[in-house]
Amino acid sequence: METWGVISDTHGLLRPEAVEKLAGVSRILHAGDVGDARILDELQTIAPVTAVRGNVDHHDRVAELPLHEAIEFGEHLIYLTHIREEIDLDPEVAGMSMVIFGHTHSPVIEARGKVTWFNPGSIGPRRFQLPVSLGLLTLQDDGSLAPELIELDV
């Protein structure tokens, strides 16, 4: 089994509780609104990072991040983006197993057809009464993907 960390919407804040939960993952996916390139530097000390640009990422190195990425995890193709409504392809037709997105700060795991939609929520500043959360994505021994939401006690 291999586990990846899935985060979004740090908005320049990397909480120690999040760092603790990410310890031991083999890769980190950041679904945008990084807010500050130093966040990516800190995350790189934990594991390699794949990140996309969010709607607040307009300065320094984060402005150069791609809007979307396709990543292979085992036999699965994962589409990483920030704003779900701006996806310009049909993930199921494109052979994606999962779409990871952010933007809403609202954690969700939802199956639609053959595609799982996964928003880890936000580990940055709290928005409204939404939880502060992140995700873990485990490639099981049988080859399946197991997404999990983790609410942080902050």
The whole-number pLDDT of residue 114 equals 94
Is 43 within 8 Å of 64 (Cβ atoms)? no
pLDDT tens readout for residues 115-126? 999 999 999 888
Torsion of CA 45, 47, 48, 52, to 10 degrees: -90
The whole-number pLDDT of residue 118 equals 98
**Domain ranges, ordered by start, for the chain:** 2-151
> Where is average pLDDT lowest: 46-55, 91-100, 118-127?
118-127
Q: Which CATH number fits domain 2-151: 3.60.21.10, 3.30.43.10, 3.30.465.10, 3.20.20.30?
A: 3.60.21.10
Global confidence as pTM: 0.96
The whole-number pLDDT of residue 5 equals 98
Which of the four pLDDT bands, split at 50, 70 and 90, describes residue 142? very high
Burial of 13-25, coded b for 16+ CB within 10 Å and e otherwise, reads bbbeebeebbeeb
